[in-house]
Structure 1
């Protein structure tokens, strides 16, 4: 399986209640990466993600060992989905949170999915819910599960206003807005029964071939 060494950083501007700097307001920095279940990729990430620079690591397809655990080091607390203990090998989303972040400022969110891990942070800035999502390339089960969760009364309630959400992860989807032109073939549906081929259009309603020419 191909290893991943590509990181995507997301920076959110909000004050954090850090245990060692309780009065300091600073940005929260998030590292998001799909590790393709590779131990080498995960160890490389832990070496590269300096805990002085990052507060949260959102991992998709993390390495899970024979004991059902992922890998971390002394700087990070691991948060597993609520269904992890049922079948650890099915877990494809975990969150590592910097131990400098006060444990009184965050709580895990139960999503009833091994592919979605979420946490809630609250403070003077309000409430922020971060969803780490792995969406299988063969179905939209994770997105449907997320949609169901967002309709629950539990999700509508939040202790401190305003409430904001962050969705991050590996959605296994291609789109003209973020794919390169060389991936144009990915937006062609299989040939129809009559031998014709249907072209997907981009959000502007333009055929992709015309979109790339413009």
Structure 2
């Protein structure tokens, strides 16, 4: 899909703040610093529209990116960041769970996992949560430019062994540096939203 116009329509922490125009939504979830902003920038053909940060825990709200007045990407705060208080973490947990379990416009989730490492317990818990609620999920192994191509099959095999995939969920490899995997991600998004 060629993206022409992108706006951050709003940042929300509760349902009454969500957009009400009915566009389909794809949520991006993953650990802090796994590359959600980098993925967004590649998908929308912008260098730094979604701000990338070396400081984990920067995103603290649900950020709704309006894509061509057709759909939204929803950037969800990263999990697994230890330096926020338990109270704050619990608050984020409620905000994220409420969105994922009640939002009718949510058509699918892209779960980003660092492709250089074995999925963490947090990654596995998040996938089990998505599977329990039957939310279509693309598991995206990021930062693949940092792994030699000769090891990519091994990485995919490790993900398949570690994660018990739902029958129609998929695994894909991605690099923000080389844009490898961009077309596959867009194909998955178009399939689940009907937008193209």
Using structure 1 for the length normalisation, give the TM-score.
Answer: 0.32
- For the pair shown, the structure with the greater C-alpha radius of gyration is 1
Of Structure 1 and Structure 2, the greater strand share is in 1
Of Structure 1 and Structure 2, the greater helix share is in 2
- With a CA cutoff of 8 Å and minimum separation of 6, indicate the structure with the bigger relative contact order: 2
